[in-house]
A and B are shown apart, each in its own frame.
Chain A
């Protein structure tokens, strides 16, 4: 097997008495996408900064495209395109000026830097604003420019730290499209996210971290399997039918039927034959005259996974991250 494009072994980083990273291992094979998933303060940004030479870990090793990031940071930087959580662009410069400056700092030469800037503006749909200072841009435009900046030298490895945090749904969708394209073009990607859905949509492989260490690792499907199979969810028209509906669901449920406080929302985990079970539940509702507003089959979300893995909500903040 060939050497993975990103490899980190036993990364440790301490801030005073807080261990931001407590022995993290990561491996990303060429052309694959790894999502580092965790709540605020889990150590995601610290891990990214260690891998991209911005931060020196207190322990462990890391390599990118076969280059040891501790021994040869300059060599590693040339292989990595980094787009951070906060758009790292100069706000008084235009998009074009930002891109040309970065191209020249990658030593592309003035002419190539200009050509490359034009290409990237085109590709990221920024041509229209290219001659305005970036402080006039929207959050989504700024983030796209930041990603464009990361791609100036066409690096084989791309690291994205929370690429869609704070973006509106439309900008997020645009960003996802761009990221998918990068992977199609053969880039190897490491991305961090607190959005479980994002990891599901974009990544081949997911490492869930909390308090600086891995707590689960696998594909989205594998992680979902850990919290059990699919669930039938029902919304009733009236709470008068709660008991009848609950009896019907109980015939097929694996474990308890969950009922919401107002008695109108019910959920039950079901076995392997989820679709057939759903059909029979509906027949049962018809027979017992249970009126429903909405019925659906839902796979567990990564939120459910996170909850069952860590015992706390994924939105909980723990502070260690800078």
Chain B
């Protein structure tokens, strides 16, 4: 087997192992399936009447933001899962096998894409119940979902790297909360760009979470009158998102593999 084929095979075996846990570990089920439903309902009904979105119903406009936020939050799962594995004996077993060095990471990030697919399906169905509609073509909508998944996959690699550096699962959950909350709230996920003040507005405009939200919002046809910003990042949100995706993976995949080697050879 070539090195590449072997890395893919090993990654796939590890991914299957992670997927088995969806049905065995109830916490995962809650995290992947129930919390997204809660997010949709909370935001739709709590903020539903309070926020003005010109040209479009807020609930419809909001759903893409919730998708974006959940995808980013979901990446925490990658870090927590790895941090947990590193504390358990199973990592010694993996290390004693003649398997690819990247397999544990490739497998983890891949199985988390499946978790994200499940989350998106559940959220989309809940969204449809509360009034969300796809107003562009079916293929456009699919492209929107695909872009969200690709973005989530990239963030997974960041969290993988963090997960390998922290001493415990609790630390990663708290640490990522500190980063992810501002990242998702200082974006156009929940409120329109034009409602931010002068200082925060550029941050919102160039925040990749805004871009992925704007891109999927456009592709679902929920934008209303427009992004409310002239920034290049929001005028070309698909391109801007993809630039981030590539940059993150190019930087964090090798960093994570390196960190994996280091932290397992202590």
Contact = CB atoms under 8 A, between A and B. Distances in A.
Do A and B make up one complex?
yes
Interface of A: 52-56, 74-75, 77-78, 80, 82, 84, 86-93, 97, 101-102, 104-107, 133, 149-150, 322
B98 A77 contact: yes
B154 to A, nearest CB: 26
Nearest to B97: A105
11 contacts: A74-B98, A77-B98, A82-B96, A84-B89, A88-B90, A88-B96, A89-B90, A101-B13, A102-B97, A105-B97, A322-B266
Interface stretch (B18-26, B122-130, B203-211): B18-26
Contact of A56 (B89, B91, B93, B265): B265
A140 to B, nearest CB: 16
Contact of B20 (A53, A78, A93): A93
Contacts of A78: 98
Contacts of A93: 17, 20
A105 B99 contact: yes
B265 A55 contact: yes
Interface string B1-29: 10000100110010011001100110000
B45 interface: no
Contacts of A90: 17, 88, 90
Given A55-B265, A56-B265, A106 B98 contact: yes
A56 B264 CA distance: 11
Contact of A92 (B21, B92, B95): B21
Contact of A52 (B16, B21, B88, B96): B96
A54 B97 CA distance: 10
Given A77-B98, A149-B93, 17 more contacts: A52-B96, A54-B95, A54-B96, A77-B97, A78-B98, A82-B96, A84-B89, A88-B91, A89-B89, A89-B93, A90-B90, A92-B20, A92-B24, A101-B13, A101-B17, A102-B97, A133-B24
A88 B97 contact: no
Contacts of A77: 96-98
Nearest to B101: A74
B253 to A, nearest CB: 20
Interface residues of B, number: 27
B117 to A, nearest CB: 21
A84 B93 CA distance: 9
Contacts of B266: 55, 322
A133 B96 CA distance: 22
B203 to A, nearest CB: 41
A107 B96 contact: no
B9 A107 contact: yes
B83 to A, nearest CB: 16
Nearest to B25: A92
A79 to B, nearest CB: 9
A109 to B, nearest CB: 10
Contacts of A54: 92, 95-96, 264-265
A133 B24 CA distance: 9
B94 interface: yes
Contacts of A149: 93
A88 B93 contact: yes
Contacts of B94: 105
Contacts of A107: 1, 6, 9, 98
A257 to B, nearest CB: 50
Interface string B177-221: 000000000000000000000000000000000000000000000
A105 B20 contact: no
B167 to A, nearest CB: 15
A109 B10 CA distance: 11
A97 B20 contact: yes
A93 B85 CA distance: 13
Contacts of B265: 54-56
Q: Which residue among A56, A91, A101 has the maximum number of chain B CB atoms within 10 Å of its CB?
A: A101
Nearest to B21: A92
Contacts of B13: 101, 104-105
A149 B10 CA distance: 17
A93 B13 CA distance: 13
A106 B97 contact: yes
Contacts of B103: 105
Contacts of B24: 92, 133
Contacts of A53: 96
Contacts of A80: 96
Contacts of B98: 74-75, 77-78, 106-107
A275 B20 CA distance: 64
Contacts of B6: 107
B239 to A, nearest CB: 39
A92 B13 CA distance: 15
Contacts of A56: 265
B55 to A, nearest CB: 48
Nearest to A90: B90
B141 to A, nearest CB: 35
A118 B6 CA distance: 24
A113 to B, nearest CB: 9
Interface in B118-175: none
